[in-house]
Amino acid sequence: MKPVRAIISVSNKAGIVPFAKSLHELGVEIISTGGTARLLKENNIPVKEISKLTGFPEIMEGRVKTLHPKVHGGILSKRDNPDHVKTMEELGIERIDMVVVNLYPFKETVKKGSSFEEIIENIDIGGPTMVRAAAKNFKYVAIVTDPADYDKIVEELKGTGEISLKTRFYLAKKAFNLTAHYDAVITEYLFSINEEGKRSTEPPEFRNPLTITFEKVQDLRYGENPHQRAAFYREIFNEEPCVTNAEKIHGAKELSFNNIYDIDGAFNLVLEFDPEKDGIACAIIKHANPCGMALGKTPEEAYEKALKVDPVSAFGGIIAFNANVNEEVANLIVKRFYECIIAPGYSDRALKTLKTKKNLRVLTTNGLKNLESRGENSPFDYRKVVGGMLVQDRDLITVLPEKMKVVTDREPTDKEWKDLLFAFKVVKWVKSNSVVYAKDGIAIGIGVGQTSRVDAAKCAALKAKEMGLDMEGCVLASEAFFPFRDSVDEAAKVGVKAIIQPGGSIRDNEVIEAANEHGMAMVFTGIRHFRH
């Protein structure tokens, strides 16, 4: 297909002048609209205004300019269909062989905090209509939506004098992907607000059908295993501090699939703790589970306590902090091998020290801005299964002490309360079935991913003993209820004095009785934190 006539109407004008100039030199007549036409004329490129083609002026502040039979007839006509050709001749419709369009910057308008009225005005109508028309008719028309394709098209035209069917099909696929993404972005925004353009206070809907869209961040070296391809995508409007929005400021290698997954878990865990109220949190994650977690007055204190929990498993792990990393803790970290570290920020000296480790990936969230809006623009958790998708609310709930219920004869002491609340926040981020033993703001025993809760309790205690940690007077947290009293009996053997769990078992009375027999305090939260 050799193009004779092209419509050019772009919002993103990067590269459009040299591209249009090349088309003109190749004998392509250019039709254009509004600001694009002005720009091309300013650069001495001959342009026919869209109103000259349609015989109709742009109206309603530019809302209506390309929605015209002479535009869409020229795009959608089948060149080898005699009836189409006859209709074009009778109505004076000229064929349009190339459509160069990118769309109004809706997403950017939302992100810069524009008024509701301006955001609505940036919903493109004519652009997507032309894009879809040209993409549908790719057998005869080239649809160009990405400035990155300009050079390729010019090169092909100069080489063969035409745009191949293979290229036109490639461009059509990109075009439909663009319009699908564009409409999904608009959908995401509209479902987050009310009719007045204010942030909706209603729980987000489980829409039917579900249309979601993500932007590609990067290709990854591979997936969970080397034989699996992988890429990393981000949600459109999420600006909360997280691995997706973090900046990699050091590290020779790119992040891997497993790195990203582990960093996400590590950082979400430390964000459970307010550095001003609770203390500085340090989490060490290995294969999606914490192998070390502690609070401290300084980053180095929190790190040293977390490392003592399981220094063997910490090898090659991920470290996260809820506060800035200083030089003191950086000096400790570089003594061991870690894959990645993520924190709100780093002192200059800390960063200089960390950079001595060539392959340590260092990520910063540049503070904890927008932390209060966690979940606002990213309310759902998506889990892929073969042939389908599971969608649920993100587990962002924090259970307050006043909502909990002491169910035993003895109430927790103040110290026990502090450790219970710490342990329950930690166990939330441990794969089920799980338990966490805690003492003095340290997760001294972490039982992960067992098929029975009593095994989780035994494994966690065994690990703590192997590391030489004192368990006498510790507390235990379980992310779900105890189905039997056996876990309580195991906890008593290692010195547990208080337990926190959701409650809700048909044998709650037996479990409470066991706690009373052992002189333990037990608290029911009423909230379960399964994590699969």
Ordered domains of the chain (ranges, CATH) = 5-190 (3.40.50.1380), 246-368 (3.40.140.20), 401-524 (3.40.140.20)
pLDDT tens digits along 189-247: 999 999 888 988 888 899 999 999 999 999 999 999 999 999 999 999 999 999 999 99
Local confidence band at 432 (pLDDT 50, 70, 90 cut-offs)? very high
C-alpha 358: how far from chain center: 27
pLDDT tens digits along 305-319: 999 999 999 999 999
Q: Which of 68, 136, 418, 465 is catalytic?
A: 136
pLDDT score of 58 more than 90 = no
Mean pLDDT check: name the lowest of 34-38, 56-60, 168-172.
56-60
Name residue 383's beta-bridge partners: 390
Is residue 532 part of the annotated active site? The answer reads no
CA distance 14 to 17: 8
The predicted model gives 157-183 an average pLDDT of 96
Burial of 93 (0-12, 13-18, 19+ CB in 10 A): buried
Q: What is the pTM of this model?
A: 0.89
The torsion angles phi and psi of 422, rounded to 5 degrees, stand at -60, -50
Is residue 136 part of the annotated active site? The answer reads yes
The predicted model gives 125-141 an average pLDDT of 96
Local confidence band at 181 (pLDDT 50, 70, 90 cut-offs)? very high
Of the candidates 474, 468, 469, 449, the residue with the CA atom closest to the CA atom of residue 459 = 449
The torsion angles phi and psi of 291, rounded to 5 degrees, stand at -110, 0
Query: 134: Cβ–Cβ under 8 A, 6 or more apart, which residues?
Result: 75, 96, 98, 99, 101, 141, 142, 143, 172, 175
Average pLDDT in the chain: 94
Tell me if residue 241 falls in helix, strand or coil: coil
The predicted model gives 372-392 an average pLDDT of 90
Query: 235: Cβ–Cβ under 8 A, 6 or more apart, which residues?
Result: 214, 244, 377, 378
Strands 435-439, 475-478: pairing is antiparallel
pLDDT score of 147 more than 90 = yes
Q: Which of 13, 24, 84, 287 is catalytic?
A: 287
pLDDT tens digits along 441-456: 999 999 999 999 999 9
Name residue 384's beta-bridge partners: 389
Tokens 């652009």: give the residue: 127
pLDDT reported for residue 296: 97
CA distance 167 to 522: 68
Residue predicted with more confidence, 455 or 1: 455
Residues in the chain: 532
Radius of gyration of the chain (CA): 30
CA distance 108 to 106: 6
pLDDT tens digits along 506-524: 999 999 999 999 999 999 9
pLDDT reported for residue 1: 72
